[in-house]
Amino acid sequence: MTLSLKQARLIREKSQRDIADILGVHVQTYRKLEENPNLTTVEQAKKISAYLKVPYDEIFFAS
């Protein structure tokens, strides 16, 4: 199963602010990542995946 970053976040009932806080970025910055996940760094992808408890390849490598 592949999910968009937004879908993965909503499944875990987390806000954009929650994810921004764990990444240490402004919520506007996170919103840009959600709109264009290709801008996400490997480090950020790992943090998001761990926080949401979803394997990163199910979010970031969706075809």
pTM > 0.95: yes or no: no
Question: What is the structure's pLDDT at 61?
Answer: 64
The token pair at 27 is 């919520």
Q: Please name the residue that has the structure tokens 């506007």.
A: 28
pLDDT for 1-51, tens place per residue? Answer: 688 899 999 999 999 999 999 999 999 999 999 999 889 999 999 999 999
The set of residues, in sequence order, having a beta carbon less than 8 Å from that of 4 and lying 6+ positions away, is 37, 59, 62
